[in-house]
């Protein structure tokens, strides 16, 4: 593997590490994130207890889904870069997976920010998307000609 391929793999790993950080933050919560409170314009204590149960279930599902996504992403990257599947069709499919998995949360967070003024983590989410795109470009540069 050449330097571009190693850097590409590193970009993908860093992107999925950031996803894991988000997942851990969501999984360890006992109430909603500060930006959730900003979006609904009320503190956690003012949310109806039954709604709190529902919101915490959704927050935990999102956290668990992000762990699964990051795990799948790392395994796929490993197979592509080290498992003998380093070719354009596999890279295209993997990048599509990355974009389908990481772009919607950024768009949703951006929409919530725009509509409510809540300080959602758009920059961190956008960094994940950007890292995957940089990884893809670097991987393309290292494909055999």
HEC states along the chain? CCHHHHHHHHHHHHHHHHHHHHHHHHHCCCCCCHHHHHHHCCCHHHCCHHHHHHHHHHHHHHHHHHHHHHHHHHHHHHHHHHCCCCCHHHHHHHHHHHHHHHHHHHHHHHHHHHHHCCCCCHHHHHHHHHHHHHHHHHHHHCCCC
% of the chain residues with pLDDT over 90: 97
Predicted confidence at residue 144, as pLDDT, reads 85
Distance from first CA to last CA of the chain, Å, rounded?
14
> What are 63-78's pLDDT values in tens digits?
999 999 999 999 999 9
pTM tops 0.75, yes or no: yes
16: pLDDT strictly greater than 90: yes
User: On the CB side of 29, how many CA atoms lie within 13 Å of its CA?
Assistant: 25
Question: Where are the chain's structural domains?
Answer: 3-141
56: pLDDT strictly greater than 80: yes
């Amino acid at each position: 593997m050449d330097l571009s391929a190693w850097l590409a793999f590193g970009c993908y790993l860093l992107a999925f590490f950031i996803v894991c950080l988000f997942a851990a933050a969501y999984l360890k919560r006992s109430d909603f994130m500060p930006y959730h409170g900003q979006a609904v314009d009320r503190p956690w204590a003012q949310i109806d207890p039954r709604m709190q149960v529902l919101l915490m279930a959704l927050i935990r599902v999102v956290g668990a889904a992000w762990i699964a996504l990051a795990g799948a992403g790392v395994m796929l990257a490993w197979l592509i870069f080290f498992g003998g599947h380093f070719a354009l069709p596999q890279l295209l499919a993997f990048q599509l997976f990355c974009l389908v998995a990481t772009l919607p949360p950024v768009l949703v967070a951006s929409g919530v920010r725009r509509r409510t003024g809540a300080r959602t983590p758009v920059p961190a989410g956008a960094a994940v998307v950007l890292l995957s795109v940089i990884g893809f470009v670097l991987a393309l540069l290292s494909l055999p000609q």
